[in-house]
Amino acid sequence: MRPEDSAQPLRVALIEDDHSLRKMLSDTLEDAGGIEICGRFADAESAVERLPGLNPDVALVDICLPGIDGVECVRLLKPKLPKSQFMMLTVYEDTRRIFAALAAGATGYLLKRASPEDLVAAVREIHQGGSPISSNIARKVVESFQPSVKAGDHIRLAPREQEILGFLAHGYSYKEIADKLDLSVRTVGAHIRSTYEKLHVHSRSQAVAKFLGV
């Protein structure tokens, strides 16, 4: 038995209109072990009606849904499920959609072409308090922030905080950073929270953008 199989399963809901993709996502996550698919929805309307009663840990939401789109779906569900984490799973890379999704309450943004391994890792990371974002999406977010950073701005981060933020900028998960630095995931999380406070940001993408713009 794998270690993750002995723990309480991570409950995931899928909101995706493409039947074959929805099945592929479901099979990939359940085969990984330690993950239970608690709901499958083909449209936002049914998800908004039924998902609050299922109380998922994580919801994967397609942006381009028939009827109500994925961004509005998250906006409607987040107040009803404040402890659930929402991750957009999409083909779109434009910054308008990215920021609309994040503003609506999403804490992750993964492209549909992500590998099965990356999908599983992202679902586990977002549940642990991370904000998984595909690397090229993170770069777009960084580039959109850079023009607003004033020359000469200086933010004092401890060497360890700078080191961890560098790993975040390259897309590493909390667990991967902890393994590389021989720290606990809890310690990594504490450093990241301290970094967010110093940078006056609330997410990985904002922290990376502000730090790289300094």
pLDDT of residue 205: 75
Among residues 85, 90, 170, 97, which one has the least CA distance to residue 123? Answer: 85
The CATH classification number of 3-132 equals 3.40.50.2300
pLDDT of residue 151: 37
Residue pair 206/199 in contact (Cβ under 8 Å)? The answer is yes
Which sign, positive or negative, has the C-alpha torsion 152, 139, 11, 128?
negative
Long-range CB contact pairs, 94-99, < 8 A, 24+: 94/140, 95/140, 95/141, 95/144, 97/63, 97/71, 98/137, 98/140, 98/141, 99/144
Residues forming CATH 3.40.50.2300 domain(s) in the chain: 3-132
Residue range 94-116, pLDDT digits in tens: 677 777 888 888 988 888 888 99
CA separation for the pair 140, 154 (Å, rounded): 23
**Residue numbers in the chain where pLDDT is lower than 50:** 1-6, 146-153, 214
Please give the class, per CATH, of domain 141-213: mainly alpha
pLDDT of residue 133: 81
Which pairing describes strands 58-61 and 10-15: parallel, antiparallel, or unpaired? Answer: parallel
Which pairing describes strands 58-61 and 108-111: parallel, antiparallel, or unpaired? Answer: unpaired
pLDDT of residue 5: 47
Residue pair 112/90 in contact (Cβ under 8 Å)? The answer is yes
pLDDT of residue 170: 73
pLDDT of residue 129: 87
Residues forming CATH 1.10.10.10 domain(s) in the chain: 141-213
CA separation for the pair 30, 14 (Å, rounded): 12
Query: Which strands form 10-15's sheet, in the order they lie side by side?
Result: 35-41, 10-15, 58-61, 85-90, 108-111
pLDDT of residue 140: 62
Is this model's pTM higher than 0.85 or not?
no
CA separation for the pair 51, 85 (Å, rounded): 13
